[in-house]
Amino acid sequence: MSVIILAILVLHAWVPAQAHTSFLFNQFNASTLYQIGNPSICSGAICLTNQSQHMSGRALYSLPVRMKEPESRNMSSSFSTTFVFAMVPYPSDPSRSGQGMAFIITPTKAPVGQSAAQFLGLFNSSTIGKPDNHLFAVEFDTILNEEFQDLDNNHVGVDLNDLTSIKSEHAGYWIGDHREDLDLKSGHNIQAWIDYDHIQQQLNVTIVKAGSPRPQKPLISHKITNLSNIFEEEMYVGFSASTGTVVEDHCVLAWSFSTNGSAPELDISHLPSLIMRKNSNCRIIASITITLVLLLLFLVAGAIFVWKRNKYRVVIEDWEKEYWPHRFDYKDLHIATKGFRDDQVLGYGGSSRVYKGVLPTTGLEIAVKSIFRESTEALKEFIAEISSLGRLQHRNLVQIRGYSRRGTNLFIVYDYMPNGSLDKMIFEKTKSVLSWAQRYKILRDVGAGLLYLHEGWEKIVVHRDIKSSNVLLDSKLNAKLGDFGLARLYEHTGNPQTTRVVGTLGYIAPELVHTGKAVPSADVFSFGNLMLEVACGRRPVDPSLDASQMVMLDWVRELHAKGRLRDAADPNLGGEYVEDEMEKVLKLGLLCCNFQPELRPTMRQVSQEIEGEAPLLTLPTYEMYEGSSSYPSTGVSSALTTNSLEGREGKV
């Protein structure tokens, strides 16, 4: 009996596509469609989106449809569909609109890397345009997106695997030889017909106000010869829509579909008018609101004067007054980053993203760090960065322009660095190889910036996170040290306070595990690792290598002990480097990474040696490393298991 039950369940779960599909929905209920996102059914209509920003919705016929003829897998089936839809605009500003909606034929129920806003809930920036999407769509778009070469902000387009339409027309319909425009975002019911003849390979798209006769001449008539390459044998049919910063309802009120035949006629005589219903709801809400306001006026009359006096005053918190009150308007940052779109992202952190932007008032290119989780630690790092970097002025430090706050989101604005971070220039194979002269200058730049932090300002600034990903390069490959979220400041005559240990594995000075004090010598240790990283062209810790080479510092020390120090040079340089400079950088890196802090050089000594203004300090012999308990192999292994180490993503 259990075997029979199991067989029945398997047969029930496997639902093959029907050879011929035809269906008719004059109204919808929850069981008739497969829904993804937040579609809702109201009065028999399905609304793919609602009055919410940055959302998408999808509704599909629950069973797959056979879209290729069984006897000829290289020929797609004919199909015909008609539906009534409405795009109901935002009540407070009907002239504005969301992103639009689309009729889709797709091989999968779930979106292909779905994103809202301009992607209509179909793709995202990494999946759009790929031939393996196998997606056919007819879009009804109410936004002009230049990136997709849109015709205007009120058009119908035919899309294949992409949102750059192969054919598009301004929304409208034909009456004889006269064409009438049709506003897709009017909120009124619109009927659409989409017909494809696989023999003629002809696609026709027609729209008109619901209730009007079907025009004899289609809006779009286009020959598609490669539709069989788009369609798989089994596909799903339905609708998708999305909103951006402006919201609206995208609703389908009735729908019919058929393969190898005309779609059944719709009965549209009893369809509701969603815009009338919404306006009625708005009037009710407005009446209630007015009544409440009248009642509340008596309670708030005493506060009117105070409200008027403070109406336009920007509230500055105490810490902003103390440090650096250069605050950007969030609206300007939103415009600069195109609404913080995904395609503007320059990089990610544990609790932050960095976006590229252009200030609308000045045209200045900027980078905007968005800290999207306002915890106590995130706020501390935010304040630390603007309080330290905001007042520091040096050509080798990333210039901070200001900051902004909106709700729980924190934003820091910097100058934009076109060549990104140093680690990408060294390790990404898509980038051109940095020459030795460029690398040497970068180390000089970082050394100069770090010397300024330690000795050149009114306070001592310990960066605590020196690494290649925090070294940024401008258009001329000038290096600038950035990311001061972990920095600590104290007076030149004061003592550093014990704090939690933060930083990045492979760069942290070993004594910090025991002392927890942020001191300049800890930065020197990190800079030593950076020097070795730039010279060797490898990361401080590389688990893909064998045990003898996994930790860069141990490996370079071993080569030095064997008299083969130059073997550590980055092979990508092809031997094109100044030998004396390469040896100097490698030895300086080892000196800076001395496990006894008091034996490390200062940043002034390091800078003088890089500039050739002082002879190289004596480098300890390999026997000194082995003979002293003060020189563990690296400290990396213990760091991996020490509970006192804390920090952000990629850090310990």
Q: Are residues 123 and 258 in the same domain?
A: yes
Following DSSP, what letter does each residue of 161-222 receive, concatenated? SSSS-SEEEESEEEETTEEEE--GGGSS-EEEEEEEETTTTEEEEEEEETTSPPPSS-SEEE
> 95 lies in which domain range?
16-272
Identify whether the C-beta of residue 434 lies closer than 8 Å to the C-beta of residue 443.
no
Please give the pLDDT value at position 474.
92
Please give the pLDDT value at position 461.
87
Q: Is 580 among the residues known to form the active site? A: no
Amino acid, res. 102: A
Please give the pLDDT value at position 494.
52
Q: Are residues 265 and 306 in the same domain?
A: no
For residue 172 the two structure tokens come to 């409208």
Report if residue 1 sits inside a domain.
no
Report if residue 474 sits inside a domain.
yes
Please give the pLDDT value at position 530.
96
The pLDDT of 5-16, averaged and rounded, is: 41
pLDDT exceeds cutoff 90 at 318: no
pLDDT exceeds cutoff 90 at 202: yes
Q: Are residues 395 and 381 in the same domain?
A: yes
Report if residue 43 sits inside a domain.
yes
Name which of 590, 566, 592, 563 is nearest 578 in CA terms: 566
Report how far residue 564's alpha carbon sits from residue 568's, in angstroms, rounded to the nearest whole number: 8
Report if residue 412 sits inside a domain.
yes
For residue 245 the two structure tokens come to 């910063």
Q: Are residues 405 and 535 in the same domain?
A: no
The residue to which tokens 């130059």 are assigned: 566
Please give the pLDDT value at position 172.
96
Report if residue 3 sits inside a domain.
no
Please give the pLDDT value at position 650.
38
28-73 pLDDT, tens digit each = 876 778 887 767 777 788 888 876 677 778 899 989 999 987 666 6
Indicate the angle between helix axes 579-592 and 603-610, nearest 10 degrees.
Answer: 170
Report if residue 8 sits inside a domain.
no
Decide which of 11 and 271 is more confident: 271
Torsion of CA 609, 612, 617, 619, to 10 degrees: 90
Please give the pLDDT value at position 313.
45
Local structure of 145: helix, strand or coil: coil
Please give the pLDDT value at position 495.
55
Q: How confident is the model at residue 322 (pLDDT cuts 50, 70, 90)?
A: low
605-642 pLDDT, tens digit each = 999 999 888 777 666 554 444 433 333 444 443 343 33
pLDDT exceeds cutoff 90 at 196: yes
Please give the pLDDT value at position 189.
93
Please give the pLDDT value at position 622.
47
For residue 78 the two structure tokens come to 């004919």
Please give the pLDDT value at position 96.
54
pLDDT exceeds cutoff 50 at 106: yes
Percentage of the chain beyond pLDDT 70 is 72
Please give the pLDDT value at position 473.
93
326-347 pLDDT, tens digit each = 788 888 999 999 999 989 988 7
pLDDT exceeds cutoff 50 at 294: yes
Among the residue ranges 130-134, 567-571, 587-591, 645-649, the one predicted with the least confidence is 645-649
The pLDDT of 396-421, averaged and rounded, is: 86
Q: Are residues 232 and 333 in the same domain?
A: no
Decide which of 439 and 389 is more confident: 439
The pLDDT of 128-138, averaged and rounded, is: 88
225-273 pLDDT, tens digit each = 888 889 998 999 999 988 766 557 889 999 999 998 899 999 988 888 7
Residue 580, CB-side half-sphere exposure with 13 Å CA sphere: 6
Question: Which three-class secondary structure string do you get for 403-433?
Answer: EEEECCEEEEEEECCCCCEHHHHHHCCCCCC
Please give the pLDDT value at position 3.
41
The pLDDT of 579-594, averaged and rounded, is: 94
Please give the pLDDT value at position 11.
40
Burial class (CB in 10 A: 0-12, 13-18, 19+), 499: middle
The pLDDT of 420-441, averaged and rounded, is: 88
457-495 pLDDT, tens digit each = 888 888 888 999 899 999 999 999 987 666 566 555 555
Q: Are residues 552 and 477 in the same domain?
A: yes
Report if residue 442 sits inside a domain.
yes
In Å, how far are 246, 270, 271 from 42, measured between CA atoms? 22, 14, 12
For residue 11 the two structure tokens come to 């047969």
Q: Of 397, 416, 435, which residue sits at a domain end?
A: 416
Report how far residue 476's alpha carbon sits from residue 314's, in angstroms, rounded to the nearest whole number: 38
Q: What is the CATH number of the domain that holds 95?
A: 2.60.120.200
Residue 277, CB-side half-sphere exposure with 13 Å CA sphere: 12
Q: Of 387, 416, 445, which residue sits at a domain end?
A: 416
pLDDT exceeds cutoff 60 at 386: yes
Q: Are residues 166 and 201 in the same domain?
A: yes
The pLDDT of 429-441, averaged and rounded, is: 88
Q: Of 352, 387, 416, which residue sits at a domain end?
A: 416
In Å, how far are 128, 149, 230 from 162, measured between CA atoms? 6, 11, 11
Decide which of 645 and 498 is more confident: 498
Report if residue 197 sits inside a domain.
yes
Q: Are residues 578 and 461 in the same domain?
A: yes
Decide which of 158 and 20 is more confident: 158
Q: Are residues 615 and 558 in the same domain?
A: yes
Local structure of 574: helix, strand or coil: coil
Q: Which helix (H) or strand (E) holds 142?
A: none
Q: Are residues 473 and 334 in the same domain?
A: no
Q: Are residues 119 and 246 in the same domain?
A: yes
pLDDT exceeds cutoff 70 at 647: no
The pLDDT of 216-223, averaged and rounded, is: 95
The total number of structural domains in the chain stands at 4
Q: How confident is the model at residue 131 (pLDDT cuts 50, 70, 90)?
A: confident
The residue to which tokens 């500055």 are assigned: 316
In Å, how far are 50, 351, 369, 377 from 409, measured between CA atoms? 24, 11, 10, 14
Average pLDDT of the chain? Answer: 79
Name the catalytic one among 465, 483, 523, 570: 465
pLDDT exceeds cutoff 70 at 16: no
Q: Are residues 436 and 325 in the same domain?
A: no
